[in-house]
Chain A
Amino acid sequence: MSIESKAIKEKKFIFTNVFVFLFCIFIGGILFFILKKDKISINEKRKLSSFPQINFKNYINGSLADSIDFYYSDNFIYRNEIISIADCIKDLRGVKNNEIKFFKNDKGIKKIGLENNTKIDPSINIAVNDSQINQTHLESIDAPYENIKSVIICKKRAIQCFKGSKYAAKNFADMTKFYKKTFNNKLNIYCLAIPIGGDFYLPQKLNDKNEKEFIDILYKDLDTSVKSVKAYEELEKHTKEYIQFNTDHHWTGLGAYYAYKAFCSAAGFTSQPLSFFTKKVIPNFLGTLFYYTKSDELKENIDSVEYYKVPFETKTYYYKNGIDNGIPSQLYFENARGGNSYGVYLGSDFPMIRCITPNKNGKKIVIIKDSYGNAFSHYLTSHYEEVIILDYRYFKGNLIDMVNKFKITDILFAHNVYVANSDFAVKQELNFLKGNAQKSQNK
């Protein structure tokens, strides 16, 4: 081949190489402005970021640039499709282990251990030191997986792997004691620490009763006047039943029922048999841990939301702000479907829900809960005249005022172990007594 024709061929190569690259970056850039943008990502259960407001302050502190970067990548052309391809590429990285898979949240990893440094003494000051809170939880409050440090898929079931802190357990126990003291021992205070399935469904070498260890420490630290609810032991007897979702981080309606039985034992009630309730089913539920891991094998073990309705009418209200002006609502949102099926219980994590039952026994309970409490709370309507459900993340009112206004007789802390292990929950719930709980940024 002559030198000349070789040079021509090389030129052709160079032009093509340049053209292909420029074509990609220019077309990508142009299509970004032309194509329509989604506002919500269903898979990620979040709003996609919108174009930020431009002002001098956010320009100077650098947040404008960050927001624009975020906006650009959040709304990138064919993002959902490209993410699916990225998942396929990810699968090529190695040999899949069909038995056990680890999904670690590296955003959360660095936070492990920090909790051990925090300690409060409620008798001195009911508000947890803000700087300690900042170090531990508030900085992670915006993180999407605040509570998830590690998810393991084992036998087609996704399970969070929990590790508790004895200091956090002590803080939580001290907080409940402070409640007892605040209400001059006039109220019954219950503490229900809910296991999240790791102890029951992970091999011992991965999780050696971490949840039980934490719950035992917490219950041991409780003041004798605070009654512990032995839900763990009750659930442990039924691990072969459908008590925990396979693809979601919550327990099922049946799991919550066994905890209800344990609560009745602690409170001295006779629990209703399961047959008392009307069973209903919402099929095809792929939950949060599926979207976290995006592991296809979970699709082979898809969940259904089985809920057990109380067979009587209640008057239910939700409260957006404070403890006045309830808006009519319902205990069950039976049109919940798809990834949102767990929303059948109470609809959502409203700051406050008040449920007036047909009972006339003068017993009124406040349940301070996280989302695990949603599947649980409705069972108590069989035993109380009123059940008031507060979400520790969103409630902003004053609990002392509420207790006086509604003549509350009982308070139940119903939290999964992650929340009971969290300084943020302790801070929020102590602040309920001052009426200055901050609205969580946590979604």
Chain B
Amino acid sequence: MVFSSLFFLFLFLPLNLLIYYSTKNKELRNLILIFFSLIFYAWGEPIWVILLVICAVVDYFNGIFIYNNHGKSIAKLGVISTFIFNIGLLLTFKYSDFFVENANFIFGTSFKKPGFLLPVGISFYTFQTISYTIDVYRGEVKAQKSFLKFLLFVSLYPELVAGPIVRYAHVANEIENRSFSWSDFSTGITRFSKGLFKKVVIANIAGSIAVQFLETDIQSMTLLGSWYGIILYTIQIYFDFSGYSDMAIGLALMFGFHYHENFKHPYISNSITDFWRRWHISLGTFFKDYVYIPLGGNKKYQYRNIFIVWLLTGFWHGASWNFVIWGLYFGFLLLLEKAFLGKILSKSSSVIQHFYTLFLIIIGWALFYYTDINKLFDFLKILFCINKVEIFDVEFQSVFMENLNWFVLAICLCMPVYKYFQNILTKYAKNDKLISSLNISINLILFIISVILLVGSTYNPFIYFRF
């Protein structure tokens, strides 16, 4: 199930809220959330919900084992077991085809690809449980004694399928004892509506236009069309991902959980280093805390550590070489900034800083988009005018103009305009009632426009239908 579906918005969510808040019993509320989370996950993936539960069982016992043997070397066995199990799951379900394909290519063998379907959210929940057992091993959190509460942590549906990667320490108290607050609930609604708007009104539209320019055959691409396409993809991926995170954070607030921020307007970054402090923060901190620092951080073999972290970051995003290239590309840029580029940049004007950063981010998304390496290089040649194509054509002109207002809106929303206008409003509007009414209206408008466009997207006429 996805948040941006009518079924979720008008049936699943109200039912969940109604049943959840019909009892004050905390244990029962946890059970209700587990029940709805498992239904949510099993909605399209009835088989893989078993994998999720097995994962929770294994890491629950590992956590207890580590906790009971805290300080003893035997505790490491629990961590090793967690690693073997979770990384094993990822290798099997996410990477086995990739490895077999490459082995066949290198060794000339012809092993059959296992062809597993990727269970939704596996990259997120395996990382959550890995972080849990490591934190227990490090003594940073106590092991959760109740399996149901642990299952709630692993399966909680707001973050289950697309993050953010929630650390156990952040929600441990709230799993045990969370209090209801109207203020949180209201903030959650505002956040959820914003996220839904980002997903439906910006990301979905950006995606539908981008594909026209990125999926067309190379011969009919144009220079401006290609740049437009990849900029749209840049918009799509940010609003899609951050919209989903906003909805997750908002939903969690409705149930009394406080998640950390996952995106902080990454496209206003003034360097690549800054970008990665603002983009998918929960993944960045995961790799920093569990890979970079244990490897020695910036104290020992820093360049090697950076290389490993970005190799893994790229590979985490998908089982294809272009993701590895994408990860290493950013690793390389970060190294350059650490070595000398950062100093040069800091002395440059902010226009140059932003242009430099955005340019490299956009090129990065081209690496990310094309899983076919040949097509990627062909596309890059067009972007950099190595392959001579038309500068633009009538189609680009027409599509660009037809979406101009929307495009300007999308670009503006990449910047913290919402916060900016809120500040202006608070500063100049004397009437509190007016501010409140405006805020409520904005939330409502965002939500209603999103729903209207969701319904509009179900228009699906058949040309060749016979009544």
Q: Please give, as numbers and ranges, the residues of chain B lying within 8 Å of A76 by CB-CB distance.
A: 6, 10, 455, 458
Tell me if A428 counts as interface (CB < 8 A to partner B): no
Tell me if B407 counts as interface (CB < 8 A to partner A): yes
Report the separation of the CA atoms of residues A34 and B18 in the bound assembly, to the nearest whole angstrom. Answer: 19
The segment from B23-31, B131-139, B208-216, B283-291 that touches chain A is B208-216
Distance of B464 from chain A, by nearest CB (Å): 5
B residues 416-467 with Cβ under 8 Å of A? Answer: 432-433, 436, 439-440, 443-444, 447-449, 451-467
B residues 364-418 with Cβ under 8 Å of A? Answer: 393-395, 397-407
In this complex, what residue of A is CB-closest to B190? A17
- 8 A-B pairs with the lowest CB-CB distances in the bound complex, closest first: A86-B456, A13-B436, A44-B461, A94-B404, A28-B10, A93-B406, A14-B186, A82-B455
Q: Which of B47, B399, B444, B465 has the most CB of A within 10 A?
A: B465
Tell me if A22 counts as interface (CB < 8 A to partner B): yes
Tell me if A106 counts as interface (CB < 8 A to partner B): yes
Tell me if B1 counts as interface (CB < 8 A to partner A): yes
Q: Are the C-beta atoms of A73 and B458 separated by less than 8 Å?
A: yes
In this complex, what residue of A is CB-closest to B117? A62
Distance of B235 from chain A, by nearest CB (Å): 14
Report the separation of the CA atoms of residues A97 and B393 in the bound assembly, to the nearest whole angstrom. Answer: 14
In this complex, what residue of A is CB-closest to B39? A65
Q: Are the C-beta atoms of A83 and B456 separated by less than 8 Å?
A: yes
In this complex, what residue of B is CB-closest to A15? B182
Q: Please give, as numbers and ranges, the residues of chain A lying within 8 Å of B185 by CB-CB distance.
A: 14, 18
Residue-by-residue, is A88-100 near B (CB-CB < 8 Å gives 1, otherwise 0)?
A: 0110111111001
In this complex, what residue of B is CB-closest to A11? B182
Distance of B11 from chain A, by nearest CB (Å): 5
Q: Are the C-beta atoms of B452 and A86 separated by less than 8 Å?
A: yes
| 13 interchain pairs, CB-CB under 8 A | A13-B436, A14-B185, A26-B14, A32-B11, A44-B459, A46-B461, A62-B44, A83-B458, A93-B403, A102-B212, A112-B215, A288-B461, A340-B467
Q: Are the C-beta atoms of B395 and A206 separated by less than 8 Å?
A: yes
| Pick from B9, B10, B44, B465: contact of A45, CB under 8 Å | B465
Report the separation of the CA atoms of residues A353 and B8 in the bound assembly, to the nearest whole angstrom. Answer: 47
Q: Are the C-beta atoms of B44 and A83 separated by less than 8 Å?
A: no
Q: Are the C-beta atoms of A102 and B399 separated by less than 8 Å?
A: yes
Q: Are the C-beta atoms of B444 and A203 separated by less than 8 Å?
A: no
In this complex, what residue of A is CB-closest to B205? A93
Q: Please give, as numbers and ranges, the residues of chain A lying within 8 Å of B46 by CB-CB distance.
A: 59-60, 62, 65
Q: Please give, as numbers and ranges, the residues of chain A lying within 8 Å of B11 by CB-CB distance.
A: 29, 32, 72
Distance of B416 from chain A, by nearest CB (Å): 21
With A17-B440, A87-B456 in contact, do A24 and B462 touch (Cβ < 8 Å)? no
Tell me if A182 counts as interface (CB < 8 A to partner B): no
Q: Please give, as numbers and ranges, the residues of chain B lying within 8 Å of A16 by CB-CB distance.
A: 436, 440
Distance of B215 from chain A, by nearest CB (Å): 5
Report the separation of the CA atoms of residues A73 and B455 in the bound assembly, to the nearest whole angstrom. Answer: 7
The segment from A129-137, A143-151, A405-413 that touches chain B is A143-151
B residues 193-211 with Cβ under 8 Å of A? Answer: 193, 205, 208, 211
Interface residues of A (CB under 8 A from B): 1, 6, 9-18, 20-22, 24-26, 28-29, 32, 40-41, 43-46, 59-60, 62, 65-66, 68-69, 72-74, 76, 79, 82-83, 85-87, 89-90, 92-97, 100-102, 104, 106, 109-110, 112-113, 144-148, 203, 205-206, 249, 288, 291-292, 294, 340, 348-349, 371, 393, 442-443
Q: Please give, as numbers and ranges, the residues of chain A lying within 8 Å of B205 by CB-CB distance.
A: 93
Distance of A254 from chain B, by nearest CB (Å): 22
Report the separation of the CA atoms of residues A349 and B453 in the bound assembly, to the nearest whole angstrom. Answer: 34
Tell me if B45 counts as interface (CB < 8 A to partner A): yes
Q: Please give, as numbers and ranges, the residues of chain B lying within 8 Å of A249 by CB-CB distance.
A: 463
Q: Are the C-beta atoms of A109 and B215 separated by less than 8 Å?
A: yes
Q: Are the C-beta atoms of A443 and B466 separated by less than 8 Å?
A: yes
**11 other A-B residue contacts (CB within 8 Å) besides A59-B46, A203-B394:** A12-B436, A18-B182, A24-B444, A45-B462, A94-B401, A94-B402, A96-B401, A96-B402, A106-B215, A109-B215, A294-B459
Q: Are the C-beta atoms of B393 and A371 separated by less than 8 Å?
A: no
Report the separation of the CA atoms of residues A82 and B452 in the bound assembly, to the nearest whole angstrom. Answer: 6
Q: Please give, as numbers and ranges, the residues of chain B lying within 8 Å of A148 by CB-CB distance.
A: 463
In this complex, what residue of A is CB-closest to B184? A14
Q: Please give, as numbers and ranges, the residues of chain B lying within 8 Å of A146 by CB-CB distance.
A: 464
Distance of B22 from chain A, by nearest CB (Å): 13
Report the separation of the CA atoms of residues A21 and B406 in the bound assembly, to the nearest whole angstrom. Answer: 25
Tell me if B359 counts as interface (CB < 8 A to partner A): no
Q: Please give, as numbers and ranges, the residues of chain B lying within 8 Å of A72 by CB-CB distance.
A: 6-7, 10-11
With A95-B404, A145-B463, A206-B395 in contact, do A13 and B47 touch (Cβ < 8 Å)? no
Tell me if B293 counts as interface (CB < 8 A to partner A): no
| Pick from B398, B433, B462: contact of A443, CB under 8 Å | B462
Distance of B222 from chain A, by nearest CB (Å): 12
Q: Are the C-beta atoms of B456 and A18 separated by less than 8 Å?
A: no
Tell me if B355 counts as interface (CB < 8 A to partner A): no
Q: Please give, as numbers and ranges, the residues of chain A lying within 8 Å of B6 by CB-CB distance.
A: 72-73, 76
Q: Are the C-beta atoms of A65 and B10 separated by less than 8 Å?
A: no
Tell me if B17 counts as interface (CB < 8 A to partner A): yes
Q: Please give, as numbers and ranges, the residues of chain B lying within 8 Å of A205 by CB-CB distance.
A: 393-394
Tell me if B272 counts as interface (CB < 8 A to partner A): no
With A59-B46, A102-B398 in contact, do A82 and B461 touch (Cβ < 8 Å)? no
Report the separation of the CA atoms of residues A393 and B47 in the bound assembly, to the nearest whole angstrom. Answer: 36
Q: Please give, as numbers and ranges, the residues of chain B lying within 8 Å of A62 by CB-CB distance.
A: 44-46
Distance of B49 from chain A, by nearest CB (Å): 11
Q: Please give, as numbers and ranges, the residues of chain B lying within 8 Å of A28 by CB-CB distance.
A: 9-10, 451
Q: Are the C-beta atoms of B462 and A106 separated by less than 8 Å?
A: no
Q: Please give, as numbers and ranges, the residues of chain A lying within 8 Å of B118 by CB-CB distance.
A: none
Tell me if B116 counts as interface (CB < 8 A to partner A): no
Q: Which of A11, A73, A147 has the most CB of B within 10 A?
A: A73
Q: Please give, as numbers and ranges, the residues of chain B lying within 8 Å of A87 by CB-CB distance.
A: 456
Q: Are the C-beta atoms of B401 and A95 separated by less than 8 Å?
A: yes
With A44-B461, A62-B46, A292-B461 in contact, do A32 and B393 touch (Cβ < 8 Å)? no
| Pick from B211, B217, B447: contact of A106, CB under 8 Å | B211
Q: Are the C-beta atoms of A93 and B402 separated by less than 8 Å?
A: yes
Distance of B459 from chain A, by nearest CB (Å): 5
| Pick from B5, B7, B189, B216: contact of A18, CB under 8 Å | B189
Q: Please give, as numbers and ranges, the residues of chain B lying within 8 Å of A21 by CB-CB distance.
A: 189, 193, 443-444, 447
Q: Are the C-beta atoms of B5 and A73 separated by less than 8 Å?
A: yes
Tell me if B43 counts as interface (CB < 8 A to partner A): yes
Report the separation of the CA atoms of residues A8 and B407 in the bound assembly, to the nearest whole angstrom. Answer: 40
Q: Which of B17, B18, B186, B461 has the most CB of A within 10 A?
A: B461
In this complex, what residue of A is CB-closest to B11? A29
Q: Please give, as numbers and ranges, the residues of chain A lying within 8 Å of B110 by CB-CB distance.
A: none
Q: Please give, as numbers and ranges, the residues of chain B lying within 8 Å of A113 by CB-CB distance.
A: 217
In this complex, what residue of B is CB-closest to A291? B461
In this complex, what residue of B is CB-closest to A13? B436
Q: Are the C-beta atoms of A144 and B402 separated by less than 8 Å?
A: no
With A73-B7, A94-B403, A106-B212 in contact, do A22 and B460 touch (Cβ < 8 Å)? no
Q: Are the C-beta atoms of A110 and B436 separated by less than 8 Å?
A: no
In this complex, what residue of A is CB-closest to B185? A18
In this complex, what residue of A is CB-closest to B444? A20
Q: Are the C-beta atoms of A100 and B459 separated by less than 8 Å?
A: no
